[in-house]
Structure 1
Amino acid sequence: MVLMLGFVTIVAAALAAGYLLGRLRPWRRAGDWAADQVRFTGAWVRGGVVRQAVVVLVHVVTAPRTSWRIMRTPAADTTAPVPVRDPDWVAHRTRADKGGTP
């Protein structure tokens, strides 16, 4: 009887853990975090070698096909053009810029 009660408790705990992992989706969250860190070069570039290694490792583990495609793609040689700033942008806004209809 005690053995059966222990088995039922283990099964219930396993089902609860599976439900919580399904709701929390840690695998997807880790993959999304790594993809965001790789895609938007920001703090992770300045974070040091250890942070870069962790980000790349998590990305390779959670999205191996995407990581392989990224590694095969050559780096772009051109840089993005600097946007031209309009010092009088408020006066040149349209209705669409202000949230209205064009």
Structure 2
Amino acid sequence: MPQPLNDRKLSQALDAVREELITAWQASDWIALQQIERRARSLAEQGFSGSQPTGAVLEALAALEELYRRIVSESAAGKERIRDELCNVREKKAAISSYQTTRSIN
């Protein structure tokens, strides 16, 4: 299992993945897009492997959610798969928000 990354490294890695996603999507390179999405999910999971989710993970997931929305609205290919990924991203964001709300109340 991969070791958790610190906030800065995780944020940088997710930023790089986001840029690669945009490039692959613009080039209609669906094989690369699928591989990059797997890396993005793996990195997001590393953000959950520590004792608490980080703000960097929430920001990165929000940015990926926006990218998935753009792809779904502008692309005919792969919409169902990307919609599923969008649902996964939303679930992770909800989990972080719930965790942060619970922590702030306590």
* TM-score when normalising by structure 1: 0.34
The answer to which structure has the higher helix fraction is 2
Is the radius of gyration larger for structure 1 or structure 2?
A: 1
Bigger RCO (CA 8 Å, 6+ sep): 2
